[in-house]
Structure 1
Amino acid sequence: MKLIQFSYKATLAAALIILVGCSASPTGRKQFIALPDSQLDTMGVESFAVMKKEIPASNNAQLRQQVQCVADAIIAILPDKYRDQSWEVVLFDDEQVNAFALPGYKVGVYKGLLSVAKNQSQLAAVVGHELAHVIARHGNERVSTQMATSQALALGYQFSGEESAEKKAIFQALGIGIQVGIILPFSRTHESEADLLGLEYMAKAGFDPRESVQLWRNMSAGDNNNTPELLSTHPSHATRIEDLQANMSPHLAVYDALVTQNKQPQCY
């Protein structure tokens, strides 16, 4: 009984550590940030250097120019702290349907994405989403969250009595509970937040925000992943589309104003 009580307290302590935000994202959401951003920047730069050695860059100059143009247009409307950085954008010669942005101002787009993002606005939806992860410090938040929960579980295990089958079973269950109840929801929160920030960025840059919805319809058409949303790090395609549509109106107004002023990028 004492073991169960202590385990519950350890789990509760881990949850409280995460819920007490010491920072705020661009949307005002409270965040737990335990590491200096400079450390994440160093990790991002090192990871990107490794990727460039392992995956060749595309030699298609036209595609590289299109991707760079979309990224440059979005970077140009970011807050000064991020707009003034030396972002590096690489189009990788790989058929993965994916893209990413890393702390340290690194952006990678896989060539396979361009078969699904069929116009400049759909590509802008992806690039805006990935830049949002960096600007919202999601990488730092995830590392900090996982570090805090791992330490809480380790301490709980260390101080919860002698080794036993019951103890191992309880802590295995706690580990699963933390993954499903804390870490995965945080990942889905990050993805949803990046979707909405990306929607804002693409509209301010002059890309049609309605194409973000079409992008996820394209993604859904080619996705055979049947993992339940509860057990996934990402929201379902249907959830993403619904959230984007619910938040479309103000960003569409921004875009329409830029269209009237003929301030749309011409990347494709």
Structure 2
Amino acid sequence: MKKLISVTVLSTLLLGCQQVSTTDSGVTNINRKQSMSMLLSEQEVDKMALQSYQETLSKAQSKGTLNSNKQMTARVRGIANRIIPQASVFRGDASKWDWEVNVETSPELNAYCMAGGKIMFYSGIIEKLKLTDDEIAQIMGHEISHALREHSRERMSSAYNKQLAMQGLSILTGGKYDGYMGMADQLVQVGYFLPNSREHESEADTMGLELAARAGYKPEAAVSLWQKMAAASQGQPAEFLSTHPSNQTRIQDLQAKIPAVQGLYDVALRKYPAKKAN
């Protein structure tokens, strides 16, 4: 009987996984197939993200650090207002997301965009690196790309499927491996607070470069941004860079991709003629 149940559980695991590409490819040709659990929907992940984001906002507000720098907040939101409309190139439904952009006064060199368009910048990354608008746009494009590609859901799906597999193994072994069963409670941790993979980082770099170019921000700023990040981290990966420092290989990869988006940037400049040079 236990074996029959375990076969059912493992069959559910296999049937509950689908290979999809969450975005259109754009001119930078991002089209990798992603493994997503059908038992962990986009809507469920959005709810997790919203709850976590609201908790972050509440804590920052109680400390008096949420959007306390009005000028910086206006600056970041102004850049977002140009980049967010470009997201529909990769995902038509992104125009319906409930986007939100906030800035917390904190020394952290960090920024993120959660599922559903919940963006947070920390003042430290802007002030310590003396970022130009073009460089802020590169960070924003990078982080929005993580959300568009549903990288958090992809990582959660992997963790969730492993949990289901452990459930089947637990049934077969009479509970010998029940110590692994708490993984479901860690999905948010896996999705948002553990490092991204090299593959996810590369996709976010590439899509972010295109998003920023379409919004009229200099593609070359991607290179200067990672150079600043590398210098600031002194050879060690800053939190924003996850496990991968902005080394020369990453910079070279971005330089190689600039020609693909240069035409988009040139066209965008006609729409934003008042854009100041940085």
Q: TM-score range by the shorter chain?
A: 0.7 to 0.9
**1:1-268 correspondence runs (5 A):** 21-26=18-23, 27-34=30-37, 35-55=40-60, 56-79=65-88, 80-115=92-127, 116=129, 118-153=131-166, 155-156=168-169, 159=172, 187-224=197-234, 226=236, 234-238=243-247, 239-259=249-269, 262-263=272-273, 265=275
Shift of 1:22: 2.1
Deviates more, 1:37-46 or 1:79-88: 79-88
Shift of 1:236: 3.4
Give the TM-score normalised by the residue count of structure 2.
Answer: 0.73
CA distance in 2, matches of 1:142, 1:214: 29
Shift of 1:149: 2.7
CA distance in 2, matches of 1:84, 1:50: 23
CA displacement 1:25-67 (0-9 Å, x = unmatched): 4321111111111101111110011101222213221111100
Gaps of 5+ in 2: 1-9, 24-29, 178-193
Shift of 1:85: 2.8
Question: Does structure 1 retain, via aligned residues, the 8 Å contact 2:235–2:245?
Answer: no
CA distance in 1, matches of 2:130, 2:137: 9
Question: Does structure 2 retain, via aligned residues, the 8 Å contact 1:205–1:264?
Answer: no
CA distance in 2, matches of 1:69, 1:152: 46
CA distance in 2, matches of 1:105, 1:28: 21
3-state SS of paired residue (2:102): strand
CA displacement 1:206-255 (0-9 Å, x = unmatched): 0001101110000000114647xxxx954331232122112111112221
Closer, same or farther in 2 for the Cα pair 1:52/1:203, shift >3 Å? same
Tell me the number of residue pairs that the alignment of Structure 1 and Structure 2 aligns: 233
Letter in 1 for 2:50: V
Question: Does structure 2 retain, via aligned residues, the 8 Å contact 1:23–1:31?
Answer: yes
CA distance in 1, matches of 2:147, 2:164: 25
Gaps of 5+ in 1: 1-12, 168-183
Identity between Structure 1 and Structure 2 (%): 28
Question: Does structure 2 retain, via aligned residues, the 8 Å contact 1:70–1:267?
Answer: no
Question: Does structure 1 retain, via aligned residues, the 8 Å contact 2:226–2:251?
Answer: yes
